[in-house]
């Protein structure tokens, strides 16, 4: 099998890169091993929320200059400020075209409500989640927080208690209650299946829509805003929007414990668009190794094609970090298993010194989270000190940053993916 581009990894980075390449007319295949980090994500996407110094970021454009000074090895610093902002804005347009129902802007971060009642700055959020602009008071005064009887991945009382501590909600009257949905009894008896995805599937296909509307209206009582767990609408937001219209209430949804319905919706929509453009998803497969010729990747071999090499003009490593085995950690080394690409040493992480991999305080940012492969400003990968011309890396497999600490994981995935698509499109 031969393609113009083979992408290893079908998460946010791999799908975004594949979509951009298919739109250019490239013939792409994505090697998809299973669930990706986006399936467990909150649905919001961070561009840059904090600098390494700990300073909170309001204006991303201004913060990128300081980031390049504090973290010159960060992918944003390598790619360059102007291109980072251009690629983030390009994704905003893609999100509108795909109707991902995301709101936000590179101009400034907004504040979203977390499932535990905290407030967090971010770049893009689903328009169905509760948000605050410029830390202004929440728009509604009477809020009903409704859980689902027997469902423990969403805790209304904890959410309410923590919201009461937030100045933006000090004027609010909060009540809690639980939706009684007898059709979920089967799932309650099988606790392993009592997850947001299973609930959404059953509610959408086996429950009377009107009965659900009446149950929400009854439990909301006099509230003008209702917070619900994200369990309504499996493939996109249309089912939830229908509930909002039918109840005539300001409904909001909050992500639950993983797997996340909000992140899963986004992946389904991105994958559908990639395939509608003619892209090929090779599902349930795993890249194992590669062959090289004249300093370039020639073929890769996968678990389903061990004797049938897959060739391409360009290869994109979008395999993720330790979570998805894009990086592997052993007692004495961290390595990238497919191409054996070079691993970046940083200020806090030395791949040859295991004592630098972790911080003694469990809750602190862990240095190993900044581990990843070495790239240049074009996101080309380095192996044995040499740049591989037709091998690129996107997303969390790249080293030099801690996406959790800095609040930039989704942004790096998107920016590097679109940068690589541009590089490949320009290549002769």
Mean pLDDT of 182-202: 80
pLDDT over 70, % of the chain = 99
Closest by alpha carbon to 76, among 426, 316, 418, 424? 418
- pLDDT (tens digit per residue) in 418-428: 999 999 999 86
Torsional sign, CA 17, 410, 137, 223:
positive
> What tens digit of pLDDT does each residue of 399-413 get?
999 999 999 999 999
Domains identified in the chain and CATH numbers: 2-103+264-426 (3.50.50.60), 130-254 (3.40.50)
Q: What is the pLDDT of residues 100-150, one digit of tens each?
A: 999 999 989 999 999 999 999 999 999 999 999 777 899 999 999 999 998
15-19 average pLDDT score: 98
Averaged pLDDT score across all residues of the chain: 93
- What pLDDT is stored for residue 122 in this prediction? 95
> What residues contact 368, with CB distance under 8 A and at least 6 apart?
322, 329, 334, 349, 357, 358
Q: What value does the mean pLDDT take over residues 309-331? A: 94
Question: Tens digits of per-residue pLDDT, 343-395?
Answer: 998 888 888 888 889 988 887 888 899 999 999 999 999 999 999 999 999 99
Predicted local distance difference test score (pLDDT) of residue 428: 64
Structural contact between residues 318 and 397, judged by C-beta atoms closer than 8 angstroms = yes
Q: How far apart are CA 376 and CA 382, in angstroms?
A: 8
pLDDT tier, 70 (very low <50, low <70, confident <90, very high otherwise):
very high
- Residue 192 CA, chain-centre distance (Å), reads 24
391 by DSSP, 3-state: which? strand
Q: How many whole angstroms separate alpha carbon 120 and alpha carbon 113? A: 7
Structure confidence at residue 69 (pLDDT): 96
């Amino acid at each position: 099998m031969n393609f113009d581009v083979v992408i290893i990894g079908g998460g946010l980075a791999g799908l975004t890169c594949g979509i951009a390449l298919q739109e250019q007319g490239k013939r792409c295949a994505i090697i998809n091993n299973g669930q990706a980090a986006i399936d467990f994500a909150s649905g919001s996407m961070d561009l840059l929320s904090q600098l390494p110094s700990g300073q909170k970021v309001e204006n991303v454009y201004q913060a990128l200059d300081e980031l390049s000074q504090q973290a010159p090895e960060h992918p944003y610093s390598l790619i360059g400020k102007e291109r980072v902002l251009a690629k983030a804005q390009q994704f905003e347009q893609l999100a509108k075209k795909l109707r991902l129902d995301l709101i936000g802007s590179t101009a400034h971060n907004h504040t979203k409500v977390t499932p535990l009642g905290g407030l967090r700055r971010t770049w893009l959020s689903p328009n169905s989640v509760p948000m605050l602009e410029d830390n202004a008071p929440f728009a509604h005064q009477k809020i009903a927080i409704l859980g689902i009887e027997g469902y423990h991945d969403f805790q209304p009382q904890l959410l309410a208690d923590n919201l009461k501590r937030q100045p933006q909600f000090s004027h609010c009257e909060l009540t809690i209650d639980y939706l009684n949905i007898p059709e979920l009894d089967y799932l309650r008896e099988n606790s392993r299946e009592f997850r947001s995805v299973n609930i959404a599937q059953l509610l959408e296909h086996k429950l009377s829509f009107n009965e659900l509307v009446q149950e929400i209206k009854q439990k909301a009582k006099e509230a003008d805003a209702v917070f619900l767990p994200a369990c309504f609408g499996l493939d996109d937001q249309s089912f939830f929007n229908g509930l909002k219209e039918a109840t005539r209430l300001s409904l909001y949804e909050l992500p639950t414990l993983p797997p996340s319905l909000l992140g899963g919706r986004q992946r389904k929509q991105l994958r559908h668009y990639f395939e509608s453009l003619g892209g090929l998803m090779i599902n349930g497969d795993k890249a194992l190794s590669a062959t090289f010729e004249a300093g370039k990747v020639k073929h890769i071999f996968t678990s389903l094609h061990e004797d049938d090499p897959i060739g391409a003009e360009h290869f994109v490593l979008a395999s993720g970090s330790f979570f998805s085995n894009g990086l592997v950690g052993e007692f004495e080394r961290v390595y990238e298993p497919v191409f054996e690409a070079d691993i970046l040493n940083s200020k806090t992480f030395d791949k040859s010194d295991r004592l630098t991999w972790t911080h003694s305080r469990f809750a602190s940012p862990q240095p190993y989270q900044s581990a990843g492969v070495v790239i240049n400003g074009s996101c080309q990968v380095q192996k044995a000190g040499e740049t591989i011309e037709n091998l690129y890396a996107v997303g969390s497999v790249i080293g030099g940053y801690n996406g959790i600490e800095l609040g930039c994981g989704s942004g790096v995935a998107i920016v590097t993916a679109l940068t690589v698509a541009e590089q490949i499109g320009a290549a002769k």
